[in-house]
Structure 1
Amino acid sequence: MQLVDHDTFIKRLSTLFESCKDQGSIWITHKRLSYDKEDVAMKTGVGVEDPRSYPCLLRVSDGDKVKFSTTVNSTELLKFHQIYGALLKSSMTTLRKRDKKREKQRAEEAAARKKKLSEPVVVDGSKRGSGRRKRQRQIKAALKQQKTLGKIKAKEEAKATAKMTAEVV
């Protein structure tokens, strides 16, 4: 991993975006830079601000060959993020768009399943004779529907109790 200054970082990142425009991926990592054994105790006290300032570490990799990083101090962060944000906005034009047609289709299927569950299964036909198999299938479907509705109700109750306990805590 090569540590570079801000201008070099921006230039190399823009060339990396250009090289990976047609094919490839780029991994960008942001994190607070911490020093070994110095940051073990992060809390200084209740209501007391930490006098230390921590720089931000940005790493970029294409997965194989290209790996570089830079550190940005808190005083330079706003200026750097303006340039960095503009570069990201201009470079991320080739992202795949959401497949709204598929999402709409799945939502419609879910609505149809919900509607089917809300309608009760009508059991008709004779107990013996020509309509017996039809009646047995209807009874089986009604039992399956009741079981599914019971599971849904149990899930909703579990969510409600989890929400109640989260509000209490």
Structure 2
Amino acid sequence: MQLVDHDTFLERLTALFETSKDQGSIWITHKRLSYNKEDVATKVEGGAEDRRNYPCLLRVSNGDKVKFSTTVESAALPKFYHVYGALLKSSMTTLRKRDKKREKQRAEEAAARKKKISEPVIVGGSKRGSGRRKRQRQLKAALKQQETLAKIKAKEEAKTKAELTVEAV
């Protein structure tokens, strides 16, 4: 991994976005650096605040050969992020749009299932004779609907119970 300065980092990132515009992925990671590889806690022992400034490490990779990084001091972060954010906004124009048709279809299917569950199954027909099988199917559907409604009710009760315990805490 090659460590570069801010301007070179932004130039290379722009070039990487251009090369992967049609196909490919880019991984960007942000990480806070610690001093001397020690495990740094956010609070120092004794209740005093930590006065050290931690730089931010930004790494970029396309998964293959291109890997580079930069470190940004905490004082320079606002200025760097202003330029970096503008670069990201201008480069991410080729993202895939949401498939609203599929979302609408799934919502309609869910509404139809909900409606079917809420409508009671009417058991009719004769107990013997030509309507017997139809009546048996209707009885089976009514039992299944009752089980489903009981499961839904149990889930709702568990959800409200969980909400009440969260509010109590």
Q: Residues 57-78 of structure 1: CA distance to partner in whole angstroms, max 9, x if unpaired?
A: 1111101111111111111001
* Residue 115 (structure 1) aligned with residue 96 (structure 2): no
Check 1:19–1:146 CA distance in 2 against 1; reply closer, same or farther (3 A cut): same
Name the aligned partner's letter for residue 125 of structure 1: G
Q: Distance in 1 between matches of 2:90 and 2:40?
A: 39
Name the aligned partner's letter for residue 79 of structure 1: K
Q: What is the RMSD of the two structures over their aligned residues, measured on CA atoms?
A: 1.6
- The number of equivalent residue pairs is 169
Name the aligned partner's letter for residue 72 of structure 1: V
Secondary structure of the 1:65 match is coil
Name the aligned partner's letter for residue 31 of structure 1: K
Q: Which moved more, 1:66-75 or 1:40-49?
A: 40-49
**1:143 positional shift:** 0.8
Query: Unaligned regions of 5+ residues in structure 1, if any?
Result: none
TM-score (norm 2): 0.93
2:86 corresponds to which residue? 86
Secondary structure of the 2:88 match is helix
Q: Residues 95-133 of structure 1: CA distance to partner in whole angstroms, max 9, x if unpaired?
A: 000000110110011011011111111111111111111
2:141 corresponds to which residue? 141
**1:48 positional shift:** 4.4
**1:46 positional shift:** 8.3
1:161 corresponds to which residue? 161
2:27 corresponds to which residue? 27
Name the aligned partner's letter for residue 157 of structure 2: E
Q: Is the 8 A contact 2:29 2:58 kept in 1?
A: yes
